[in-house]
Amino acid sequence: MPMGHTATAQAGSGGLTATEHRLANGLRVVLSEDHLTPVAAVCLWYDVGSRHEVEGRTGLAHLFEHLMFQGSGQVKGNGHFELVQGAGGSLNGTTSFERTNYFETMPTHQLELALWLEADRMGSLLAALDEESMENQRDVVKNERRQRYDNVPYGTAFEKLTALAYPEGHPYHHTPIGSMADLDAATLEDAQAFFRTYYAPNNAVLSVVGDIDPEQTLAWIEKYFGSIPSHDGKQPPRDGTLPDIIGGQLREVVHEEVPARALMAAYRLPHDGTRACDAADLALTVLGGGESSRLHNRLVRRDRTAVAAGFGLLRLSGAPSLGWLDVKTSGGVEVPRIEEAVDEELARFAEEGPTPEEMERAQAQLEREWLDRLGTVSGRADELCRYAVLFGDPQLALTAVGRVLDVTADEVKAAARAHLRPDNRAVLVYEPVEPADEADGTDAPETDAHEGADK
């Protein structure tokens, strides 16, 4: 039977608790009781993402996320979706640089079904994986790339910026969607080897949160997951270490059919899980987190040179995080004018730091976001998995906000001064061009648009 420990509410956890257990095959299990509503969330994180991929096979982690919904040993075709939705539940999966996750939220009395389904595809997916399902999902992923990246305004901006911010050969140089060429090159044998290597119980964390009976839940987990063998062939991801500062400004100008000029930039920031990253998060929130932020007030409200201006943080644990700047210009405003104003605001903030009111507002905003995540059973299940996989301790999820609230204004100013500077960014400038049919004076032929099937 699984080994575990009892729940103890930690200071700053808001009374939330979680217990940890481990099966003999290495599967880590985290349980958190919450009887407020009669639902339960199941979340399964596999410690595999695009950073684990090798050159020539980018996009394989994301492709496999899709393949996991194409049937397993005892569930054929689209049966996973049909069974969960037929039981009144919801489900999906996502892939990032650092992990792949799968999740269901079910009525409490259907929890056993969700656990059985996840165990069946962990233990027997290869029994159903064939050339037909491989080709089907390859086409789905390629269509997703067209719809979300290649054929939408600014759609490849994230891909371009990460390629600039992380040098060639770095494990984060490419994004999880992968390239069309690599998707075409992936073989059934590649997918089978990928599954054997990464989709093993000792490379996963399973969390169950909600209206559960912990003893019964553990018994089901042991029953369905306990016999799945572990696998020891996984290689650690390539080293993502980089200097703290890029050391110069990397820049690319993109001429595309976009609605407006845009200035986007990625600043190299401290790794996730550090106090310095929390300080940088607060700095980005003050500068570009919503309509009360400095950049929105300066560019949108005061100067009226932009229609949107904001900062976001891409937290990464295996490489420097990225501070993401996104400004869409207003009318015929040129990008250099926007860039000059942004640099003025960043320099002023690095010199003065946040006001007490800005600190209070930023910390309250991040606290609300934390409460929103942990306030739902699905959000809490995801956070428990995240801290278990990336930092080794799911309990950190329950106290994360306390660490943000403990950061001082001086630390926020220091983070901005150290990282939000021109020699530490990759810059993307969008310049609109006329559509081809307008430029040559011809009308484009009419086409039927069909939204591609996706999970």
- Taking only the tens place, the pLDDT of each residue in 265-300 is 999 999 999 999 999 999 999 999 999 999 999 999
Q: So what's the pLDDT on residue 287?
A: 98
Which residues are 269's β-sheet partners? 321
Cα 191 to Cα 80: distance, rounded to the nearest angstrom? 20
Contact between 70 and 125 (Cβ < 8 Å): no
The rounded Cα 392 to chain-centroid distance in angstroms is 18
Q: Is the pLDDT of residue 175 over 80?
A: yes
Q: Which residues, 6 or more positions from 336, have their beta carbon under 8 angstroms from its beta carbon?
A: none
| Mean pLDDT for the chain overall | 92
pLDDT at 60 over 70: yes
* HEC per residue, the chain: CCEECCCCCCCCCCCCCCEEEECCCCCEEEEEECCCCCEEEEEEEECCCHHHCCCCCCCHHHHHHHHCCCECCCCECCHHHHHHHHCCCEEEEEECCCCEEEEEEEEHHHHHHHHHHHHHHHHHHHHCCCHHHHHHHHHHHHHHHHHHHHCCCCCCHHHHHHHHHCCCCCCCCCCCCCCHHHHHHCCHHHHHHHHHHHCCHHHEEEEEEECCCHHHHHHHHHHHHCCCCCCCCCCCCCCCCCCCCCCEEEEEEEEECCCCCEEEEEEEECCCCCHHHHHHHHHHHHHHCCCCCHHHHHHHHHCCCEEEEEEEEECCCCCCEEEEEEEEECCCCCHHHHHHHHHHHHHHHHHHCCCHHHHHHHHHHHHHHHHHHHCCHHHHHHHHHHHHHHHCCHHHHHHHHHHHHCCCHHHHHHHHHHHCCCCEEEEEEEEECCCHHHHCCCCCCCCCCCCCCCC
User: For residue 434, what pLDDT is reported?
Assistant: 87
Q: What is the pLDDT of residues 181-195, one digit of tens each?
A: 999 999 999 999 999
Specify the range with the lowest mean pLDDT, choosing from 208-217, 231-240, 245-254, 415-424: 231-240
Flag whether pLDDT at 442 surpasses 80.
Answer: no
In the predicted structure, residue 444 carries a pLDDT above the cut 60 = no
The string of pLDDT tens digits covering residues 399-441 is: 999 999 999 999 999 999 999 999 999 999 999 998 865 544 4
* pLDDT band with cut points at 50, 70 and 90 for residue 235: confident
pLDDT at site 25: 97
Residue 365 to residues 50, 315, 353, 369, 379, Cα–Cα distance (Å): 30, 17, 18, 6, 17
Mean pLDDT value of segment 78-91: 97
**Residue 236 burial (CB < 10 Å; 0-12/13-18/19+)?**
exposed
445 vs 70, which has greater pLDDT? 70
pLDDT band at residue 69 using 50, 70 and 90 as cut-offs:
very high
Q: Is the pLDDT of residue 2 over 90?
A: no
Other CB atoms within a 10 A radius of the CB of residue 307 amount to: 15
Percent of the chain with pLDDT over 90: 89
For residue 96, pLDDT over 90 is answered with yes
Report percent pLDDT > 70 for the chain. 93
- Contact (Cβ atoms closer than 8 angstroms) between residue 53 and residue 35: no
pLDDT given at position 397 = 97
Q: What is the pTM of this model?
A: 0.92
Under a CB-based contact definition with an 8 Å cutoff, are residues 351 and 306 in contact?
A: no
Q: Is the pLDDT of residue 82 over 50?
A: yes
